[in-house]
Amino acid sequence: MAGWRHIFLVTDIEGVAGVESWGQTQSGPRYEAAKALATDEVNSVVRALLGPPDNSDPSPLRISVWDGHGCGGLLPDLLDRRVTFYRHDDARNFTGLLRESLRGAAPVNALGFVGQHAMEGSGGVLSHTYSSRRIRSYKLSGRPIGEFDLRALFAWALAEIPSIFFSGDDVACREAQSLVPGIIRVQVKESLGVTSARHLEPAHACAQLAAGAKQILERNPADPLLRPSFIPESPFELRKHFKLKFGFVPRPPQVRRSDNLAAVLEEE
Ligand SMILES: [Zn+2]
């Protein structure tokens, strides 16, 4: 198993095959259908790593799944029962859950991202950074970064936890590779604009995700290509720019500075 003990999967809905409109990401029948697609994608990854659900030879690998979509992006009742599932509104949040795992018996030693979207302004399908209405950009010591970067860099800063797996559209996959050159990428759709895409058919996307996830088991956690290509010099600065709305007073950027990268990135 090449030294992977506990893989923490961050999931989202905007990067899933078949999802390309904001209406699929919150309330209504199309949202319920999108959550089913997202759950199938996550289960494909989990089963590639742990074997079929009735596997008589249980894997020692642990998998946690944190639903990273604000109003919920998965159908927990249909998720593979062998994973530890955390809802998006878990009070510990992504950063708290990772910190907590490091104090436990089976600390997380890899991150994976399923259904992740690209950053605001990138042209990726349903691209945004945390809030599509409020946030124009995040910059870490001058470099624009998205949700993937913030989380991958946080995990690295915390305990050199590498990000090993990523799925989403072509734009998001390029973003992931730009920060982590050796990350395993599975492209499930091609962006034709913020609300338009050419998708893999869902069963095909799931087969590709399973094939990509199997590659995790052959990778070495110490592979230097899993080290982020961008880690700025201390002191670190995270600058959050807000969108301007007609009739509102412009809001100045919010800036965090520290010598501790994990503390700076402890966000959202
Ligand atoms: Zn989302």
Give me ligand 1 centre to Cα 11, in Å.
Answer: 8
- Range(s) of the domain holding residue 153: 6-230
Task: Output the pTM of the full model.
Answer: 0.96
The DSSP annotation for 153-190 comes to HHHHHHH-PPEEEEEEEHHHHHHHHHH-TT-EEEEEEE
- 210 lies in a domain? yes
Tally of structural domains, the chain = 1
- 92 lies in a domain? yes
- 244 lies in a domain? no
- 212 lies in a domain? yes
Give me ligand 1 centre to Cα 80, in Å.
Answer: 21
Give me ligand 1 centre to Cα 13, in Å.
Answer: 5
Give me ligand 1 centre to Cα 256, in Å.
Answer: 24
Confidence of residue 187 (pLDDT cuts 50, 70, 90): very high
- 119 lies in a domain? yes
Quote the pLDDT of residue 212.
98
Give me ligand 1 centre to Cα 159, in Å.
Answer: 26
Confidence of residue 268 (pLDDT cuts 50, 70, 90): low
Phi and psi for 95 in degrees, rounded to 5? -65, -40
Helix (H, G, I), strand (E, B) or coil at 257: strand
In whole angstroms, what is the distance from residue 226 CA to residue 161 CA? 9
- 123 lies in a domain? yes
Number of other CB atoms surrounding residue 225 within 10 Å:
12
In whole angstroms, what is the distance from residue 32 CA to residue 75 CA? 8
**Interval 55-92: pLDDT, tens:** 778 889 999 999 999 999 999 999 999 999 999 999 99
**Interval 111-159: pLDDT, tens:** 999 999 999 999 999 999 998 888 899 999 999 999 999 999 999 999 9
Give me ligand 1 centre to Cα 222, in Å.
Answer: 30
In whole angstroms, what is the distance from residue 139 CA to residue 57 CA? 46
- 26 lies in a domain? yes
- 246 lies in a domain? no
**What CATH number did the domain enclosing 108 receive?**
3.40.50.10780
